[in-house]
Amino acid sequence: MINMELEIKNINGKTTSKKATLSDSVFAIKPNDHAVYLDIKQHLANKRQGTHKAKERGAITGSRRKIRKQKGTGSARVGDIKNPIFRGGGRVFGPRPRDYGFKLNKKLKVIARKSALTYKAKDLCLTVVEDFTFEGPKTKQYNEMLNNLNIQNSKSLLIIPANDKNIVLSARNLQGTKVMTASDINTYEILNAQNLILSESSIELIHKTLDN
């Protein structure tokens, strides 16, 4: 297999003389859609708080006195006022606090992320930029970089090798823009972005993480 090569641009949108090599074992595999589905499902499930709670009859304030005698009324037997059949009574089988998270095999998660990267490479939604940093949090500078790369009107995800506070803070106030480190990428964020921006040094870390 021939590894893919992409031109490396600088933050001014100019093409440099360097090229980045993307491994086919990470960026050009046969996508596994079911693995992608499971990984995204787990990601969204883990984000759910699960703190929903309805009052059942044990949590309703009210008397436990039996409303009417058991027999002789011609009507159905009933208990106290907290009975779920009455207005203001407890709810039957209401939601309770729970954890929606579930486990997935690590190998399956790796396949899912490789599949997501493959889709981005196949759709030509990958841009490689030289490693850069800002002297301070500058939203204007980050926005200018997106304009220079012609992706200012789409959702973008920048992947950097290590946490850079200035870059993260610069992108934080821009809608549809996100910054993540190479070790934190996940299938959902990759596919949720319309354009993927890879910093030069992050590519080696992605290969090292996913191509063991």
Question: 211 pLDDT band (50/70/90 cuts)?
Answer: confident
- Tokens at residue 25, please? 């074992």
pLDDT for the residue 1: 52
Q: pTM for this structure?
A: 0.84
Strand intervals (E) in the chain: 4-9, 15-22, 126-129, 156-160, 177-181, 195-199
Domain boundaries, the chain: 4-48+100-210, 51-99
Residue whose structure tokens are 């984000």: 47
Query: Is residue 77 predicted with pLDDT exceeding 70?
Result: yes
- Select 4-48+100-210's CATH number: 3.50.50.60, 3.40.50.300, 1.10.8.50, 3.40.1370.10: 3.40.1370.10
Starting at the edge strand that comes first in sequence, how are the strands of the sheet with 15-22 ordered? Answer: 15-22, 4-9, 126-129, 195-199, 156-160, 177-181
> In angstroms, rounded to a whole number, what is the distance separating the alpha carbons of residues 114 and 110?
6
Number of neighbouring beta carbons within 10 Å of residue 59: 12
Strand partners, 180: 159
pLDDT for the residue 152: 87
Question: What's the pLDDT tens digit per position in 50-61?
Answer: 999 999 999 999
Q: Pick the closest to residue 193 from 112, 116, 115 (CA basis).
A: 116
Question: What's the pLDDT tens digit per position in 175-193?
Answer: 999 999 999 999 999 999 9
Burial 176-192 (b: 16+ CB within 10 A, else e): bbbbbbbeebbbbbbbe
pLDDT for the residue 19: 93
